[in-house]
Structure formats: structure tokens, C-alpha cells
Amino acid sequence: MHVRTKPDKTQRFIELTTQLQKDVRANEPDTLLFQVLQSQDDANAFVFTEFFTTMQAKEEHALRPYHVAMSADGYACLDGDPDIRCFDHLGEAAITGVPA
């Protein structure tokens, strides 16, 4: 997912997503990777990278209480709609535990 933040909301978005990353890593063993990256060229541009062991883990991720609580505040920081794209692994999975 790619998002842009309102310039005056960027720091708040960073705070929210930093905490969300901690919560995901502490509570979701079936989420192999949950990383938010900030553009080096545009401080208001971010990308989310997520890998789940199963579709069920992906679906449950969005329903976790800390994710739901963060979402309203997080979306209020955005400048426009998120660009959400889903991808499948090609060939052998690069991460142990991910079905190929």
C-alpha cells in the first residue's frame, strides 16, 4: 500500500505506524513482515510491505484491536486515498513459512 500524508500530519502518522509495527511484531506470529517505509525523496510518501503465512492471518491482521484503533487516526493523516496493491510470490517463496 502506498500513501501520502498531509504535511502537518506526517509526524503523527509516523508515531501511529511505528507503534502499529511494534504491536504487529509482538502479537502476530503469522505476520512474517510488516514494515512501513518512508520515501527518501518525499517525507510525506510511505509504503507498507506485508507478508502473511496464510490468508486467514492477513484477514485477522486488519481486525486486531490495535489495528482498528490506529486506523481512524491514521486515515485522518492521509492526503487522498491509499493505493492498495496485492502481489503473489513467483517461484519458490523467499521467506521460510510462506506458501509458494
At 5, is the secondary structure helix, strand, or coil? strand
Dump the DSSP string for 17-76: HHHHHHHHHHH-TTEEEEEEEE-SS-TTEEEEEEEESSHHHHHHHTTSHHHHHHHHHHHH
Give the pLDDT of residue 49: 94
What are 41-85's pLDDT values in tens digits?
A: 999 999 999 988 888 999 999 999 999 999 889 999 999 999 998
Cβ burial 23-57 (10 Å sphere, 16+ → b, else e): bbeeebeebbebebeeeeeeebbbebebbbbeeeb
Radius of gyration of the chain from Cα atoms?
14
Mean pLDDT across 5-19 = 97
Query: Which residues make Cβ contacts (< 8 Å) with residue 18, sequence separation at least 6?
Result: 36
